[in-house]
Structure 1
Amino acid sequence: MRLAELSERSGIPTATIKYYLREGLLPPGERVSATQAEYGEEHLRRLGLARALIQVGRVPVATARDVLSAIEDEGLDQGSRLSTAVEAVPGGRPSTAGPKEREAARSRVAELRERLGWQQVTTSCGQEALVEAVATLMQLGYPCALEDLLPYARLTGELAVHDVDMIERFAAPTTQLEAAVALTVLYEPVLLGLRRMAHAEESTRRYSGAPDGA
């Protein structure tokens, strides 16, 4: 297919495709003349993943280029490729906690992983985001003991099974990678919204109409 058809089928403007080509996010097409090239289905799949990383996941172009190279490594299995793609998505906000709280938070997260039997992943973006969040909780004096964190961890373990089941609905490995990035980004607001709705429901159930001190 020519560039115009690639643009039409992918839904990505030709100017953006040319930018992706210049930045190395998309491999060159097969030259058919001095000014035209042919593109195949692999280009279409690669475009979908690049769009998921950059437009949905807000991943910087340079990072997206590295991720796209990594997940094309034939030495990686599909699980490693999925992890690489999802890990590229930016995590939580940095904590203002000091070194003491961060060290304590890191120990708390390691203890949590051990209790759950989760494999230690020292380079995990998710783990670092969790450390930052727990460090902030410690700094501000809010509950974040192991027993406070375990219910969240167990529920997210169940959600992870559902997430991967949804990703496996897509047959092509590259499409699974695109879906992994997109669903990571798009379902986090779903989780936040549902949690807040559930809080409102539970607060109403407990306190609505109850007299002070009851």
Structure 2
Amino acid sequence: MRIGELSRRTGVPVPTIKYYVREGLLPAGRLTSPNQASYDDAHERRLRLIRALLDVGGLKVAAIADVLAAVDDPDQSVHKVLGVATDLIVPTYADEEPDAELDAELAAAREEVRELIARRGWLVDDGYPAAEALAAALAALERVGHGAFSSVLDAYADAAERVARADLAYVAGRAGLDDLVESVVVGTVLGDAVFASLRRLAQADVSARVYEGDEGDEGDEGDEGAESGSGRTTNGET
């Protein structure tokens, strides 16, 4: 296909496609004449991956180049390639001003995360970005007086394991590594949004059952008591 057709099929403007080629993100097309090049399905798949990393993953061009280098490295396992992609899209936290108390809280949170990983038997390397992000979140909870939140970490981990298995079951049917990485990036970023929304819905349901149900029962009992009292007063009975 010509570059115009590639642009129409992917929704990526021609100048942008040429920019990706210049930056080495997209292989050049096969020259069919001095001024014409032909592109194929592999170019379309790669463009889709680039756009997923850029638009969904929020990665910069340099980071996208790192992911694509891993994808194109025949010595990299699928696990390593997916690790490169997901590591780059995990939220990071800006460094704070040095503070002994904050350092102590973060150190304690890191140890708690290490214990969680060991307890769960998770095959995660030290220094994994998600582990550091979890430690930062736990340290923040401690600072705002909710350190006891760590008591539900294993319940969260149970849910996370089920979601992770569902994630990988979804991407398992993808044929090419480009498609696999694209699915993981899109699934991780948008899947986080889906899971957060499902969590809110479940919280609303549980809250209604636990709290509104109690209030309703108390209200019914109060109404019954009022009716009984009113009847006794009207009839003059005790």
TM-score between both structures, scaled by the size of structure 1? 0.91
Matched residue type, 1:198: A
Name the CA distance, whole Å, in 1 between partners of 2:52 and 2:132: 23
**Correspondence for 1:127 among 131, 138, 143:** 131
Query: Is it true that 1:188 corresponds to 2:223 in the alignment?
Result: no
The structure with the largest helix share of the pair is 2
2:218 is aligned with 1:203: no
The whole-number CA distance in structure 1 between the counterparts of 2:197 and 2:69 is 34
Structure 1 counterpart of 2:103 = 99
2:62 matched residue in structure 1: 62
Unaligned runs of 5+ in 2: 219-238
CA distance in 2 between counterparts of 1:94 and 1:27 reads 35
* Runs of 4+ residues over 6 Å off in structure 1: none
Structure 1 alignment gaps of length 5 or more: none
**Is residue 2:113 matched to residue 1:113?**
no
Is 1:57–1:90's contact at 8 Å kept on the other side of the alignment?
no
1:139: which partner in 2?
Answer: 143
State the alpha-carbon separation in 2 of the partners of residues 207 and 145 from structure 1.
Answer: 21
- Which of the two has higher C-alpha Rg? 2
**Taking structure 2 as the reference length, what is the TM-score of the superposition?**
0.82
Distance change (3 Å), C-alpha of 1:12 and 1:123 = farther
Q: CA shift at 1:94, angstroms?
A: 4.3
Q: Which segment drifts farther, 134-143 or 25-34?
A: 25-34
Within 5 A, what are the aligned runs for 1:48-87? 48-87=48-87
**Matched letter for residue 17 of structure 2:** I
CA RMSD of aligned residues (A): 2.1
What are the Cα deviations for residues 6-34 of structure 1, in whole angstroms up to 9, with x where unaligned? 11222222122112112221122222333
How many residues are aligned here? 213
- SS state of the match for residue 32, structure 1? strand
Q: Which residue type is aligned with residue 122 of structure 2?
A: W
- Alignment check: 8 A CA contact 1:102 1:132 kept: yes
